[in-house]
Amino acid sequence: MAEDPFEGHRVLAFDLETTGLDTRRDRIVQYALVGSDEQGGSVTVDDIVNPQCKIPTNASSVHGIFDEDVKRKGVFGEHADTIHDLMDGSVIVGHNIERYDWPLLTAEFTRLGRLSPKPHAMIDTLRLAKRLRIPGRHDLGTLCRGADISLNNAHDAAADAGATLLLLWRWIAKHPQHFRRSVTEIENWITTGDSLKNELGPGLDDLEPVEGTGGRLRRNGEQIIICFGKHKSREIRVIALEDPGYIRWLCSPASPLNTDAKELIREIL
C-alpha cells in the first residue's frame, strides 16, 4: 500500500456555480479547479462563464453572479479545452459531484458534441462523509465547521473547491486507516465499502472493476454487477427487466457513470 495514495497524481478539487439545479438543462456560470499537479505544484483555475441565457434571480442570490457579470465573458466552448486538459487523468475531488457537478459538466460537453474528460478517480466528499459516518448534516458548510475549516465565501466556486480539498485532507489525517490504499481503491471503498467474502462466493470487492467506473460496475464472469445504489449487488440484465427506468437513468447525463460505462450498458442490453 502506498504511503501517500495521491503522490504522482494531479489532484484537483472541482466546483461549479450554475443557473439552477437541473443537471440536464441548467448552465455553468463559474467553475474552479484548485489543487496540485503531478509534481506538487499549485494549480488554481477560477473563471466566469457566459451561460448564454438569463441567470434566475434565485440562483444569483445564492452565488452572487448576475447577468451583468457574465455578458462579456466567454461561453463554455471557450473554456472547454482548459477544463478537459486539467481534468483528464486527474484525481477529482468535490462535494456532491457525482449527482450534481459532474452531470452538469458532462451536459455542457455534450452540447458541444465533445466527450467529457476521463478522471483517473473521483472522490466525492458527500459520499465519503456517509462512508465515514460523520454525524450531523452533510452539507459542505456544516462539515467544514465540524472540521474547523473556515468557509467565509460559500457558494463561490474557488472557495468551495478549496474548502472541499482541505476537508478531505483533514479526514485523511483523522482516519488514516481507511486511506492506506491506492487512490482507485479509495474510490471503490467510498462507493462499495469493505465488502467481505462469504460462504456463497466472492464479495463485490473481489470482482474485477469495469475500467473507469470507480468500482460502480464490476465483472462477474460474463455478468456486469451494479455496486452502488438501490440495486447494489444485482446484475444489469435483471435490473433492466425489473426496473427499466433505473437503466435509463444510468445511461442519462445525470448518471455518475462515464461515457464508456454507459456505452457498455447499451451494448449489453
164-209 residue pLDDT tens? 999 999 999 999 999 988 898 899 888 877 654 334 445 677 788 8
The Cα diameter of the chain in Å comes to: 63
Predicted confidence (pLDDT) per residue in 126-172, tens digit: 999 999 999 999 999 999 999 999 887 778 899 999 999 999 999 99
pLDDT digits (tens, 9 = 90+) for 48-88: 999 999 999 999 999 999 999 999 999 999 999 999 999 99
User: What's the mean pLDDT when you consider all of the chain?
Assistant: 89
Cβ contacts of residue 266 below 8 Å, gap of 6+? 251
Q: Give the orientation angle of helix 102-111 with respect to helix 76-87, to 10 degrees.
A: 120
pTM score > 0.85 for this model? Answer: no
Instruction: Report d(CA 157, CA 146) in Å as an integer.
Output: 20
What are the phi and psi torsion angles at 94 (to 5°)? -165, 165
User: Residue 2: helix, strand or coil by DSSP?
Assistant: coil
CA–CA dist 208, 217 (Å, integer): 9
Residues 31-41: pLDDT tens digits?
999 999 999 99
**Whole-angstrom Cα distance, residue 89 to residue 118?**
6
Would you put residue 136 in left (φ > 0), alpha (ψ -120 to 50) or beta? left
Do residues 35 and 59 touch, judged by C-beta distance below 8 A?
no
Query: What confidence category does residue 5 fall into, taking pLDDT thresholds of 50, 70 and 90?
Result: confident
Compute the half-sphere exposure of residue 155: CA atoms within 13 Å on the CB side of its CA. 11
Mention every residue, 6+ apart, whose C-beta is less than 8 A from residue 158.
15, 32, 34, 44, 46
Instruction: Report pLDDT digits (tens) over 235-259.
Output: 898 888 888 888 999 899 888 888 8
Query: What pLDDT shows up at residue 111?
Result: 95
Distance CA 248, CA 131 (A): 27
Q: What is the pLDDT of residue 194?
A: 64
Q: How far apart are CA 177 and CA 137, in angstroms?
A: 24
Judge whether 157 and 100 are in contact, CB under 8 Å.
no
Domains, the chain, in order of start with CATH, read 11-179 (3.30.420.10), 195-268 (no CATH)
Nearest residue to 128 via CA among 116, 117, 140? 140
